[in-house]
A and B are shown apart, each in its own frame.
Chain A
């Protein structure tokens, strides 16, 4: 927490200075955006956090550790890649949920594969955002190119963990 806060706040201060020396309309736009996003997060965070926590404690810990634990190797990486496709919603749920998985004993390479799959192959984002806005050709090619990436990320992470 401390690390993240100490990275983020100095940049916020710099951006604030840049905004305050710029035109007034831009300042107003920035504050309005911050307010919209702030209310959005404030309404969702408590439920996302608690939901992910409850979901984590509902998972059968021994099964999860066996299928997705650090010792599960490439099988766990493939399972985690498949599971990631079906987690709906944005980082507001997926990261707290990933933390819950981590605490249940899921291995680091498997979690890397899970998060990569969620960010690239989420069926929900694909159907709700990508196809309606971008048509068929670009999304389909993009999705096809993404299919093998979560396992690759998992294997790279496995090599790094071993080092």
Chain B
């Protein structure tokens, strides 16, 4: 639990039956069928089929990008040694730590199942917490793979650029706010600091 699960864990083959009963898959199944049904009943077949056609076409159009992103995410994960990000993130504190954390966040692909165990390992190794906050912010708003994979193809390059530029100062703002807050709420034991 306290060690981040090795990447092999994520690559373990799973049976199709298990994959089809995963909560997140079932959620999407229910989401699509209930909105589809509601659309058909409330708005009529014409609106339903227009939405169906348009989004099926969008799916086809975005597939080459998604396929590339899936390969890129997996290859990056295999190429960057697991200890590398941990070492770099643990290096600085104060403003320098915040800058390093913000920068590293750009290049870490994947969802919370990758970033959370990584953060846990870094925090337990004694990294600067404000730097970790900056890393978290940057990873969730500015991660480049996610922007190229989702935002540029769906929302367009101009929108992606506006959102990216608006988000650049935010990891610094959050990191600087976090420094006094972490001082104010000192943890007695790891993870129970807010009880005072």
The chain A residues found within 8 Å of chain B, CB to CB, are 1, 3-5, 7-9, 11-12, 15-16, 18-19, 22, 26-27, 29-41, 43-58, 88-93, 95-96, 98-99, 102, 108, 111-112, 115-116, 119-120, 125, 129-130, 133-138, 140-142, 144-146, 149, 152-154, 156-157, 160-161
Contacts of B137 in A (CB 8 A): 120, 146, 149
Report the minimal beta-carbon distance from A14 to chain B, rounded to whole angstroms: 9
Q: Contacting B68 at CB < 8 Å: which of A5, A49, A95, A120? A: A5
Task: Tell me, yes or no, whether B178 is within 8 Å of chain A by CB.
Answer: yes
Which has the most chain A C-beta neighbours within 10 Å: B19, B32, B72?
A: B32
- Judged by DSSP, the binding face of A is helix
Question: Is the Cβ of B140 less than 8 Å from the Cβ of A120?
Answer: yes
- Judged by DSSP, the binding face of B is helix
A99-B154, A138-B191, A153-B163 known; A57+B47 contact, CB < 8 A: yes
**Per-position 1/0 for B152-196, Cβ under 8 A of A:** 111101010011011101100111011001100101001111100
Question: Is the Cβ of A53 less than 8 Å from the Cβ of B55?
Answer: yes
Task: Tell me, yes or no, whether B125 is within 8 Å of chain A by CB.
Answer: no
- Nearest CB in chain B to that of A150: its residue: B170
Report the minimal beta-carbon distance from A68 to chain B, rounded to whole angstroms: 15
Question: Is the Cβ of B38 less than 8 Å from the Cβ of A145?
Answer: no
Residues from 101 to 126 in B contacting A, C-beta threshold 8 Å: 111-113, 116-117, 119-120, 123
Q: How many angstroms between the C-alpha atoms of A152 and B170 in the bound complex?
A: 8
Contacts of A11 in B (CB 8 A): 72
Q: How many angstroms between the C-alpha atoms of A22 and B187 in the bound complex?
A: 43
Contacts of B68 in A (CB 8 A): 5, 8-9, 12
Question: Is the Cβ of B55 less than 8 Å from the Cβ of A5?
Answer: no
Question: Is the Cβ of B19 less than 8 Å from the Cβ of A43?
Answer: yes
Question: Is the Cβ of B155 less than 8 Å from the Cβ of A99?
Answer: yes
Question: Is the Cβ of B181 less than 8 Å from the Cβ of A145?
Answer: yes
- Given pairs A125-B112, A138-B119, 20 additional interface contacts (CB within 8 A): A8-B68, A8-B69, A18-B75, A29-B8, A32-B8, A33-B11, A36-B13, A51-B36, A57-B39, A58-B38, A111-B155, A116-B167, A130-B112, A134-B116, A134-B119, A134-B120, A135-B192, A140-B185, A141-B182, A145-B175
Q: How many angstroms between the C-alpha atoms of A16 and B178 in the bound complex?
A: 39
- Nearest CB in chain B to that of A10: its residue: B68
Question: Is the Cβ of B25 less than 8 Å from the Cβ of A98?
Answer: no
Contacts of B51 in A (CB 8 A): 50, 53-54, 56-57
Q: Contacting A136 at CB < 8 Å: which of B62, B120, B166, B193? A: B193
How many of chain B's residues touch chain A, expressed as a range? 35 or more
Contacts of B7 in A (CB 8 A): 29, 33
Contacts of B181 in A (CB 8 A): 141, 144-145
A1-B65, A136-B192, A149-B174 known; A129+B76 contact, CB < 8 A: no
Contacts of B100 in A (CB 8 A): none
**Per-position 1/0 for B40-74, Cβ under 8 A of A:** 00110001101110111011011011111111111
Q: Contacting B28 at CB < 8 Å: which of A39, A93, A116, A160? A: A93
Task: Tell me, yes or no, whether B133 is within 8 Å of chain A by CB.
Answer: yes
Q: Contacting A145 at CB < 8 Å: which of B27, B55, B73, B177? A: B177
Q: Contacting B194 at CB < 8 Å: which of A1, A38, A129, A140? A: A140
Question: Is the Cβ of B32 less than 8 Å from the Cβ of A26?
Answer: no
Q: How many angstroms between the C-alpha atoms of A54 and B35 in the bound complex?
A: 6
